[in-house]
Amino acid sequence: MKTKEDIYQSEYKKLKSFSEVLNPRIAGSSTRFWDTPAIKSRLYELEGDSEGYIKGSDGFKSLALIPSVEEAIAKISGDFEKYKIKRLKQGFAEPEKMTPEMKKELEKLKAQLDVYKEEEQVLKKWLKERKEKTERLRQPLRGGLVQSGRLSGGELVELDGQIIETCPACGLKIISDPDSIYCGMDVITYRRLAKTWYAEYCKTMGIGKKPKKPPLPEWPQDAVNHLSQKHLQSKK
């Protein structure tokens, strides 16, 4: 008969080799592509909502994978307690060990739980890495004031990595990015600053020269802060 370690180890190895999270490069068409929604969806299958439940497509709630295995493990332990009482009632000494069947089931469940928990850790790590990467890419003004914009539906939504919105008071496009020193400035003023900044920047360019970014321009004294209370209330 297989020992306890054997059952656990062989089950663990088997489950781990099937895991698409722990073996992300398994060949074959069934392999999931781990983009952010896929990562979140697998995490949901594993953890469920705040109470450990997942909602199926039929609308019914059921335990997520990790809580359901935890519950099965708790059930076996409960069964063992019942088994002890039964043996006592039958006039036998209280058994110290589980029956081989119970033990086997328990070891298999423990292996399953460990693989699920490893998946959970890996998925969380992937999510964190992706979030950090996105934040790095969106760092405002990282490349300077080069007027590199992004449009959505014909409207400017990002400029040099800064979030752009419409001023609720006057309707101008403004920088509304709390991470930018120009938060509250309208884009027209910003573009004026950028033009001067970029001209300075170009002067540092030349063959064999490493271009040097000039310091970020300061707020012009007369420029309106569109997010100031004074401005927001002025046009109402």
- Chain residues binding Zn ion by CB under 5 A are 167, 169-170, 226
For the CB of residue 232, give the shortest distance to Zn ion in the complex, in Å.
8
For the CB of residue 223, give the shortest distance to Zn ion in the complex, in Å.
11
For the CB of residue 41, give the shortest distance to Zn ion in the complex, in Å.
41
For the CB of residue 198, give the shortest distance to Zn ion in the complex, in Å.
25
CB-nearer residue toward Zn ion: 57 or 229: 229
CB-nearer residue toward Zn ion: 19 or 166: 166
CB-nearer residue toward Zn ion: 38 or 172: 172
CB-nearer residue toward Zn ion: 141 or 175: 175
For the CB of residue 167, give the shortest distance to Zn ion in the complex, in Å.
3
Place of tokens 């998925």: 123
How many CB atoms are closer than 10 A to CB 1? Answer: 6
For the CB of residue 236, give the shortest distance to Zn ion in the complex, in Å.
11
CB-nearer residue toward Zn ion: 46 or 193: 193
CB-nearer residue toward Zn ion: 16 or 191: 191
Give residue number: closest CB to Zn ion. Answer: 167
